[in-house]
Amino acid sequence: MRQEEYRDKADSLFDILFLLGLPIWILIIRLDGWWYRRELNPQKRQAQAPIQ
């Protein structure tokens, strides 16, 4: 009985952590992508300037 109760609590805890962690990971990935694009932008502008 105790093991089953503990397992249910652990499962619900992991579910909560997963639900909380997923948006955080998405946010981190989006921020990382934004930062990467921001770092590349000046180089891209310099490269495109002669073409225009």
- Tens of pLDDT, residue by residue over 36-50, are 888 777 666 666 555
What's the pTM value of the predicted model, to 2 decimals?
A: 0.41
pLDDT exceeds cutoff 60 at 51? no
Taking residues 5-26, report their average pLDDT.
88
Confidence (pLDDT) at 50: 58
Confidence (pLDDT) at 52: 52
- Nearest by Cα to 13 from 23, 1, 2, 5: 5
In whole numbers, what is the pLDDT of the chain averaged over residues? Answer: 80
Higher-pLDDT residue of 39, 22? 22
